[in-house]
Structures are given as C-alpha cells and as structure tokens.
Structure 1
Amino acid sequence: MPSNRLQRFLAELGPGLVTGAADDDPSGISTYSVAGASFGYATLWTALLSFPLMAAVQLMCARLGMVTGRGLASVIRSRYPRWVLWFACSLVIVANVFNIGADLAGMADAMQMVSGIRAYLWTPFFACLIMGLLFWTSYRLMARTLKWLTLVLFAYVVTAFLARPDWIAVIRSTFTPHLEWNKDYISVLVGILGTTISPYLFFWQAAQEVEEDRDHGKMTVTQRRGSTNKELRVAKRDVITGMLLSNLIMYFLILTTAATLHAHGNKGIETAKQAAAALRPLAGAGAYWLFTLGIIGTGMLAVPVLAGSSAYAIAEGARWRSASLNLEPGLARKFYAVIAAAILVGLAFDYAKLNAVRMLFLSAVLNGLLAPPLIIMVVLLTSDRKVMGNRVNSPGLRTLGWACVLIMSAAAIALLTFLG
C-alpha cells in the first residue's frame, strides 16, 4: 500500500534528515539572504551544484560511522598521526564556536524584532535554554520535536511564488552557471558552499550513525562494526532526503530575497529586519513572526549539533569512554563540559558588538575555507579498504568527493587571492 510505504519511509528517516535540517541554521538563512539580495537570481545555480556534492560527502560520513562502528575523529586517530587528528579537530572546533556565536546572535537579533527587548538580553537566554535542554532532556527527544519547527522555512517557498518572480530569469539562472570575478561575488560563493557543506556536519553524521547503533544495544565497536546492504540503503535514502531538503530551502531562500529585496533595489542586508522583509508579501507584519520562528527554530536545532559535534570530535580523539548526548551529564562530565564551553565561548563573541547578520555570513565563509582539508580526509578514509573493507566508495561517490574538494578549494583560493 502506498500509505504504508510512505509511513515506512518517514519512520526510517533519522540522522540524515536532522543533519539536513540543522544545515539551514541562522548562518545559512543569512548567507542565502545575502546572496539573493546582493546578486538576485545569479546564484540559484549553486543549489544544483551543492546538492550532489553535499549528499556525497555526508553519505561517506554516514557509511564510515556505520561500517567502522566509530565516529570520524576516532577513525582519523586510528589511521593518521596525532597531529593530523588534532589539526582536523581544531578546524571543526574553531569553525563551530564561531558559528555558535553567530547563530545565537542571529536568534537574538530576530527575537528583538518582534519583542522589542534588546538582543544582548536574548543571547544568554538562548544559550542557557539550549544548555538546559541538552543537560536535562534527551537530545533525540528535543531534535524530534524541534525539527518539525523547521517546516516554517517552507514559508520561503510559498513567498517565492507570491512574490511573482521573473520565472524565465529564474529558470535561466538555475541552469546557467554565472560567475563574477570580484571579491563580493566570490565571498558569497564561498559562503554558500561553506554553510551548505559544513565541517561540523561531517563529525555529526558519523557520530549519529554510531548513536543509532547504541540505541539498538550495540555498545561496543565490535558489535557495531559492519552494516547490511539494507541498512546502507536506508541510510542512503535518509541522507539524500535530508540533503535535498536542505538545498531546496536554500534555493527558495535565494529566490525569495532575489524577487523581493534585490528586485526593489535593497541589495545590502545589514540587519535581520531587512532579511525578514523578504517575507512581507506573504503575511505583512506577520512575516516578522514567521522569520523569527525560522531563525529560532533552526538555531535551537543547529546550536546543539554544533556544540555536540565539537564534543564528539574531542571525546573520540581523546578516547573518552563516556561520550553521548543520550547519557546523563553525571555519566559523561567531560563530554558535557565541552558542550558547555563551546556554547559559552560562542556566547562571548556576541558581546564583541559585531553585526549579527554580518557575523552569520562570515561564519559561513570560514566554514568554506576550512572544509576542503577535512573532505580530503573523509574521501581517503572511505576509499581505504583497511578502514571500510569491501564497503569502500563506489567510483561515482569517490569522484563526487574529489570534485567537492576541487570546487571548494578553487573558490577558497580565489577568495584568498582577493583578500590578499
């Protein structure tokens, strides 16, 4: 029965869907809004580029966790010198802490729009709220609840149609790559790639596949090692669905801001209020509430993922035995201490008086610069028979992985050339 197949499909969605939803965090919303407002429809084609690249990298990470029974940092530790391990972990932690601060600032800025209460009061509120939820509830329970809140982002899909864009121009821009050799365009391109293919998602995806096995009673690496063809097929559907959702929302966010802000000559986004104006054609003053729910909903989902992936990276690298978001804090003190530290350091960034939207965009650019070396490690590890056995990457998956490295590296080098 079709309904039974649909129910089974929805029931099988898990880490991939949550990862995809978390990818459209306040940093992503800001970056896509900047792209649409600054360059109109000119960057729509990037959604078709990023989807297969993002899906390939995340699928590699999922397969790595399922086949080895260990997280990404743990596998890196077993195959490479310690300096490589801590170099990789340092990259993701630096990017994560900056991203946490940016997301908290974006959430606070959005909340100020509808409440009138200053943003600097909301940042510690959200930081404490998220830590409280992580410490005193199961993350899985919180994720299952909050991921549905991200459905508010489909308001951008509806708005894209209500904004009456030039559909001929939209179709042309979607299928015709457009490049401009200037700092602003290249920084937007790096930002789009960085917020879509983010380092923290690599660690998170592998770690959550391990957590899935732990939930099924597989507590040791030996018990978790190896996966059936059916399990790998289910994971593939889960990952592709999550990445498709992520890129779909990205596409319509760019389209919406292009058809509203850019079309009306408002090409420079400096505040979250300007970004929220993209929803005005949908609900007038109510658009501010919709935008706030989108920012806060995705932020509530993304900040735990950012902090959690940092904790997983350090715990796996240091070989801590008790490291899981489903353990009580008393049973994993060091693990939760890293989570708290990541959130609190990120919070400290919010008092540096940086523009919230600009900070969100810069965090995406930072991710774009740091991602390539981590992707190289992922491709090498998942192509190594000593790690994956006969579950190594297929030629197509490996080709997409290296293509991702080349494209992101070329964009990063181009940006560094302009900055230099």
Structure 2
Amino acid sequence: MKNFLKNLGPGILVSAAFIGPGTVTICSIAGVYFGYSLLWALLISIFACIVLQEMSARLGLISGKGLSDCIRDEMKNPVIRIFILFLIFSAIVIGNAAYEAGNITGAVLGAEAVFSSVNFEIGAFSINIWSLIIGGVAFSLLYLGSYKKLEKVFIALVLLMSIAFILTAFLTKPDLSEVLKGFVPGSFDSGLLTIIALVGTTVVPYNLFLHASLVSEKWSGPKYLGAVRKELVFSLLLGGLVSMAIVVCAAASNINDIESAADLAVGLEPLFGSSATIFLAVGLLAAGITSSITAPLAAAYVVQGCLGWKGGMQSPKFKMVWMIIIILGVLFSSLGVKPVEIIQFAQIANGLVLPVIAIFLFWIVNQRSVLGKYRNNFLQNLIGGVVITLAIFLGVKSIFNVIQNL
C-alpha cells in the first residue's frame, strides 16, 4: 500500500483535469434531463479514457518525451509536420483558454454557493472577485510549485472532491435498480450532444499530451510500466465513480432546468438539506481549482513540445504560456456569458477534436522507432481502433445534426 500511494501522481492529475466544472455541469445536465439513462455512455467514456491514456502514459515512460515532441520528431515531411503541429498548437492552446474560463467560472460557482457574490466595476466590465482569487491560487501554485509539490496538492484536492460528490450521492438515496438500468445502452439519437459532451468531458484531448509529459517527469524506463498502469486505472476509475455520483445527484434533484452546477445545489437542498449543498459546493470548488491548474499546465507542455523548447516547468517560456492561459481564463470568465454555455461549448468542441488527436497518438504508439517492443500489440490496436472509430462516429453525427438544424 505504501508503494502504491508513493506511485500516485500523473493519473491523479489526469483525473483532476477531467473532473472539472465541465464534468460537473455536463453530468448534471445528463442527470436532470435524462435521469440515469446515460450512465452507459459515461461507462464507455471511462473505458475509452483508460485505453487512450494508457497509450499516452506508455509513450511518455518509454520514450521519455511528450506526445507533441514525438509527433515533431517522427513527422519527416517538413510541410506536413508544420501543418500538424500548427493544428495541435491552435486546438489545444485556444481550447484550453476557453476551458480555463469554464474551470475558473465553475470554481466561482462553488465559492458563491457557500459565500456571497462580490463584483467590482472597471469601465464597462464587471469583474467577479472570486475569478481573480481562483486565478491567483492557480497562478501561485504553478509559479511556486515543483512537480512533486503539485502532485501532493492534487492528491489532497482529488480526495476532497471525491468524498464530497460521493457523499452527496449517498444523501440522495437513489433506487439502485433504476441506477443499474442506466448502464443498459440506449439510442444514440437520445441526447446525442449530451453523449458527445460526456465523451468530451471524460476523454479530454489535452490530457493525452499532459499524461505523457507528466509520466516522463516522474518515471524513466520500462520497469515502471506495471506501476504506471495500476496508478492510471485506479485514478481514472475513481474519476469515473465521481462522474457517476454527479449524474445520480442530478437525477434525484427536483429541478427541470439547469444553467449551472449551482442550480443543482439549490435543487438538492429542499430534498436533502443544506449539507448536500455544502458538499456539492466544496466538490465544485475543488474541481475548479484542480482543472484551472492542469489546463494551463497542459497548454504549456504542448507549446514546449511543438516548438522544441528545453528547460521543463521552470523555463521562463514554459511559465509564460501558462500565465497567458490563466489571464485569458480570468478575463473570459468575467464577460457575463452564462457558465453552462461556456462549459457545454468547450465539452462539445472537445468531443469533435478528440478523434484527430487520438489518431495522432495511435500512429505514434505503433512506431517501432519510438517504442520498440513496447509499441501497440494486436489487441491494443483492435481496442484502440474501436475507441477511435466510436469517437469519429460521434463527431460526424454531431456535425451532421448541427448542419440539419441550420
């Protein structure tokens, strides 16, 4: 047990990244509008996440490099290499700026559910003081913290929000037979955009870059492969359990419409008392803080790999990237757009970007020049192929639906 706890780290950070306010909001929407009926989609998302993150972790461990570094090194055609790196750079950096706004906004909702809202005016803009505080916390932890210090902070925050959400689910006393029925797959056309958002909020494209880089920082060499896989499976199953607990909470609420996770807290209070609201608010605050740190961190790793920078987390260039992402996140979160719209848009966009990033990862982990005998075997390729095909199918159906509705 002591060795297992010692090996906790990268997988926990990945769980912390995907259990952000986006997950809380999308899982709340799924529970409010569809009850337990989309739990099957969440279960498939967790399985897909484990498959893809294992490839990413194995790549980081064996190659000692991040995913964007490997793509840059393996793409021999300079024109194709520049185009692909530009595509990845744009999708992840711009996407993470939008994500950061959702992360900070989500943490603000958690704080406001317990404390009051505080705003001050600067010209035509109204700035929420909680946005500045959350952004400041993320900034301070990244600026002052080494990887090992960040690891300890994340383990504490993930355990805190896991306990908070799971306790809230127990307070709702769900009908277990109804919950189990939710794991039976239904129609893809029933809540298609919500299904895509559930996939997008669980299998997060930037986590594929983040995980490889974090594993390469913590471990080196194939002898740690078993430890990496155990830590990964434990962390992501814990994250999946938390996501399902949020769906259960939302399904038990008595609200008919939802604009933020704070609405869920309000809906639970008449049925289950103020403790449900407090637990949910604490979980949302912890989720927002953890994700508001991992999104800028992932963006910095992607830029570093795409541009071939050296120096790691303490490099001034590396710090400059995550600083810009945090500043943009604080500004975007204060523009007055409804939180659920920011978060839901980011999750759906994620579901559409995912197949592209997953195909790059799939290609890299099949290169003998990168992984040698640790490249994908037949079974890993078969399962990975199914996961990527599913992601492409959902993405194409989403685009088709949007075109039909124009």
What is the TM-score with the length of structure 2 in the denominator? 0.91
1:203 aligns with one of 192, 195, 209: 209
Q: Given residue 270 of structure 1, which amino acid in structure 2 is its aligned partner?
A: E
Is the 2:20–2:288 Cα contact (8 Å) retained in structure 1?
yes
1:362 to partner: Cα distance: 2.0
Is the 1:101–1:349 Cα contact (8 Å) retained in structure 2?
yes
- Counterpart Cα distance in 1 of 2:188 and 2:303: 39
- Counterpart Cα distance in 2 of 1:389 and 1:272: 46
**Residue number in structure 2 paired with 1:338:** 321
**Residue number in structure 2 paired with 1:220:** none
Q: Given residue 61 of structure 1, which amino acid in structure 2 is its aligned partner?
A: S
**Residue number in structure 2 paired with 1:216:** none
Structure 1 runs of 4+ with >6 Å offset? none
Kindly tell me the number of residue pairs found equivalent between the two proteins: 389
Which deviations, in whole Å up to 9, do the C-alpha atoms of 1:317-357 show, x marking residues without a partner? 11111122xx3xxxx11110101001111222123311113
1:186 aligns with one of 181, 188, 192: 192
2:278 aligns with one of 279, 289, 292: 289
Alpha-carbon spacing, 1:249–1:380, altered in 2? closer, same or farther (3 Å): same
Establish whether residue 43 from structure 1 lines up as the match of residue 38 from structure 2: yes
- Counterpart Cα distance in 1 of 2:115 and 2:167: 25
Is the 2:138–2:293 Cα contact (8 Å) retained in structure 1?
yes
2:249 aligns with one of 246, 251, 256: 256
**Residue number in structure 2 paired with 1:59:** 54
Secondary structure, aligned partner of 1:45: helix
1:102 to partner: Cα distance: 0.6
Establish whether residue 72 from structure 1 lines up as the match of residue 78 from structure 2: no
- Counterpart Cα distance in 2 of 1:37 and 1:289: 19
**Residue number in structure 1 paired with 2:162:** 153
**Residue number in structure 1 paired with 2:6:** 11
1:412 to partner: Cα distance: 1.6
1:320 aligns with one of 309, 333, 348: 309
Which deviations, in whole Å up to 9, do the C-alpha atoms of 1:138-163 show, x marking residues without a partner? 34313312432333333332333332
- Counterpart Cα distance in 2 of 1:231 and 1:73: 22
Establish whether residue 25 from structure 1 lines up as the match of residue 31 from structure 2: no
**Residue number in structure 2 paired with 1:3:** none
**Residue number in structure 2 paired with 1:218:** none
Give runs of aligned pairs for residues 1-400 of structure 1, distance below 5 A. Answer: 6-80=1-75, 81-118=81-118, 120-151=128-159, 152-174=161-183, 176-179=184-187, 181=189, 185-213=191-219, 227-228=221-222, 230-258=223-251, 260-261=252-253, 264=254, 266-277=255-266, 279-280=268-269, 284-324=273-313, 327=314, 332-400=315-383
Alpha-carbon spacing, 1:8–1:283, altered in 2? closer, same or farther (3 Å): farther
1:252 to partner: Cα distance: 1.6
Secondary structure, aligned partner of 2:37: helix
Is the 2:171–2:276 Cα contact (8 Å) retained in structure 1?
no
Provide the identity percentage: 25
- Counterpart Cα distance in 2 of 1:50 and 1:37: 19
- Counterpart Cα distance in 2 of 1:392 and 1:78: 16
- Counterpart Cα distance in 2 of 1:350 and 1:210: 33
- Counterpart Cα distance in 2 of 1:406 and 1:36: 26
1:43 to partner: Cα distance: 0.4
1:57 to partner: Cα distance: 0.5
Alpha-carbon spacing, 1:403–1:118, altered in 2? closer, same or farther (3 Å): farther
Establish whether residue 413 from structure 1 lines up as the match of residue 406 from structure 2: no
Secondary structure, aligned partner of 1:286: helix
- Counterpart Cα distance in 2 of 1:110 and 1:158: 16
- Counterpart Cα distance in 2 of 1:282 and 1:16: 35
Is the 2:9–2:155 Cα contact (8 Å) retained in structure 1?
no
- Counterpart Cα distance in 2 of 1:311 and 1:299: 19
**Residue number in structure 2 paired with 1:221:** none
Secondary structure, aligned partner of 1:321: coil
Q: Given residue 25 of structure 2, which amino acid in structure 1 is its aligned partner?
A: S
> Gaps (5+ residues) in structure 2?
76-80, 120-127
1:291 to partner: Cα distance: 2.0
- Counterpart Cα distance in 2 of 1:138 and 1:387: 28
Which deviations, in whole Å up to 9, do the C-alpha atoms of 1:17-57 show, x marking residues without a partner? 22123321111111111111110011011232122211110
Q: Given residue 371 of structure 2, which amino acid in structure 1 is its aligned partner?
A: M
- Counterpart Cα distance in 1 of 2:7 and 2:136: 32
- Counterpart Cα distance in 2 of 1:368 and 1:111: 28
Q: Given residue 180 of structure 2, which amino acid in structure 1 is its aligned partner?
A: I
Tell me whether 338-347 or 292-301 shows the greater mean CA deviation: 292-301
**Residue number in structure 1 paired with 2:78:** none
- Counterpart Cα distance in 1 of 2:14 and 2:392: 23
Which deviations, in whole Å up to 9, do the C-alpha atoms of 1:6-25 show, x marking residues without a partner? 22222222211221233211
Which deviations, in whole Å up to 9, do the C-alpha atoms of 1:77-97 show, x marking residues without a partner? 011212112212221112211
- Counterpart Cα distance in 2 of 1:392 and 1:73: 17
Secondary structure, aligned partner of 1:393: coil
- Counterpart Cα distance in 2 of 1:250 and 1:129: 25
> Gaps (5+ residues) in structure 1?
1-5, 214-223
